[in-house]
Amino acid sequence: MKNLFLGLFIVLSFLSCTEEKKSEAPTEQKPNIIYILADDLGYAEIGVFGQEKIETPNIDALAKQGMIFTQHYSSAPVCAPARYMFLTGKHAGKAFIRGNDEWNDRGDVWNYRAMAKDSTLEGQRPVPKGTKTIANYLQDEGYRTALIGKWGLGAPHTHSIPNEMGFDFFYGFNCQRQAHTYYPLHLYKNRNRVHLANDTIAPSTPFPKGLDPKNPESYKDYTLTDYAPELMFKELTGFVNQHKENPFFLYWATPIPHVALQAPQRWVDYYKEKYGTEEPYLSGNGNGYFSHQNPHAAYAAMVSYFDENVGKLVQQLKDEGIYENTLIVFTSDNGPSYAGGADPTFFESAKPFDGEYGKGKGFVYEGGIRVPTFFTWPGKIKPGTTSDHASAHYDMLATFADIVDYEIPIDTDGISFMPTLLGEKAQAEHEFMYWEFPEYGGQIAIRMGEWKVVRQHLKDDNDPTLELYNLNDDPTETNNVASEHPEILEQAAAIFKREHTKPETERFQIPLLENGLLSE
């Protein structure tokens, strides 16, 4: 009997130890996700995409550690709709936000000083209550979430602020108009203003009459004390440090390199020496934003400063021991700007595409919507790889769902491209990709494989265009072959008719679409 009890004790002890070991077995932690969204960064404004005049060694090194996407698109050619569609997985035919909407019926919303006094004039038109974003889905999976940079999808004192839209932490510009200066009077930390040590220099303040544009002292008012990107980056590194033990989602929506031309002087000086003397950019008389004596040097300085901080972030991840379990996405919200002293011709910002007015930012041609994009994830994404898989920002909701394993709504317009990232062959392809943009005269575009249909001037006084390009043969969209392929136009018309829904906001409506133009 004594031996029997001893035997049972040994067996039970073994089982107990086995259960204890089983419960202590490590489970694979979900990856941190960092989504870096540059603002108006052109397709060729970083080195790995062909830039030759701006130095981006840290971004280039990071890209080479992962997979470069050569055919990744923004969901829209300007800020607000691109951000909305990324966060919600909707394309422009179904999205609530389809253009920039400053919610003008509140009052003098473009008056910088008035906004400083009255916060109810800040921000953009709110998105509907109940809108669920990528951040909401990741919160549900236990992620700590942060947005640092520019919001542009609501307004203070409404439900449509980052902290009500899935983000545990927010620091930056609530209002995209406020982001027209890098030395603002205030930023927001969560729901509250944080006042900065800057004077009131309103965006688009004209170059003072009587001052010498060749004298550096004439520009001193445009460089103040608290540089917003520096403050944002400090908060960003603090968030990473605070949440390094658990999975986090960091949406770094930097305002760089969106004009105005304002950059740390050490970087401006570096490029002044590199570029030499140049013609000043002077605001006023139709020129917006701020003046700068060395506009090319300033623009390059902004991008290189941003690159420097990307390098610092990557080093922090490595120092904290979390780089290996972090997916980093790098992209831009749309093509390059042509305004405020930006010069897409000098930098060949959208190469091989056209980045000038009419083809760059604000337009649904390749220069306005194809964006520099890459993904790194050590041990998961093979370094030094490239993909020509056609994808868009509105695919990210579905892609993150595959990576993190959350359920997505059945009406999402995106397709997960996780198989491509992991080097697998079973990758679903888009039947079509869709753009609809009510600004700059009213525009629509659809891509079906190598074919792309573009229609311009749908709201202005010009006759609507009907354009068809074969992107394999004609990536720069210079040879309109619409008259040669009526069957392709017929397919596109059917897709437009099926995918377009009438916008709730009148500002986003295109009457010719609502009247059945594309079904004829």
Do 68 and 386 form a contact (C-beta atoms < 8 A)?
A: yes
Split at pLDDT 50, 70, 90, the class of 8 is: very low
Which residues have a Cβ under 8 Å from the Cβ of 8 and sit 6 or more positions away? none
What pLDDT is stored for residue 29 in this prediction?
Answer: 86
Show the tokens assigned to 81.
């709709």
- Entry pTM: 0.94
pLDDT per position as a tens digit, 85-130: 999 999 999 999 999 999 999 999 999 999 999 999 999 999 999 9
Domains of the chain with CATH codes: 32-430 (3.40.720.10), 431-519 (3.30.1120.10)
* 224/198 Cα distance (integer angstroms): 6
What DSSP line would sit under 34-54, residue for residue? EEEEESS--TTSSGGGT-SSS
**What residue type is assigned to position 118 of the chain?**
D
* pLDDT score of 460 more than 90: no
Query: Residue 505 contacts by C-beta under 8 Å, 6 or more apart in sequence?
Result: 96, 98, 101, 125
Query: Of the candidates 423, 239, 404, 406, which has an alpha carbon nearest to the alpha carbon of residue 325?
Result: 404
The more confidently predicted of residues 520 and 233 is: 233
Q: Quote the CA–CA distance of 446 and 449 in Å, as a whole number.
A: 10
Asked whether 460 and 99 are in contact (CB, 8 A), the reply is no
Dihedral angle computed from the Cα positions of residues 506, 511, 514 and 517, in that order, rounded to the nearest 10 degrees = -160
Cα distance between residue 273 and residue 497, in whole Å: 55
The gap from C-alpha 245 to its chain's centroid, in whole angstroms, comes to 27
Cβ contacts of 148 within 8 Å, gap of 6 or more: 169, 170, 171, 172, 232, 235, 236, 239, 250, 251, 252, 253
Return the number of other C-beta atoms located less than 10 Å from residue 105's C-beta: 7
DSSP strand pairing (186-189 vs 451-455): unpaired
Question: For residue 427, what pLDDT is reported?
Answer: 97
- Rounded to an integer, the average pLDDT of 447-457 is 97
195 - beta bridge partners?
Answer: 186
Share of the chain above pLDDT 90, in %: 90
| Termini Cα distance of the chain | 94
Least confident stretch, 42-46, 175-179, 452-456, 516-520: 516-520
Q: What confidence category does residue 221 fall into, taking pLDDT thresholds of 50, 70 and 90?
A: very high
Q: What is the mean pLDDT of residues 159-180?
A: 98
N residues, the chain: 520
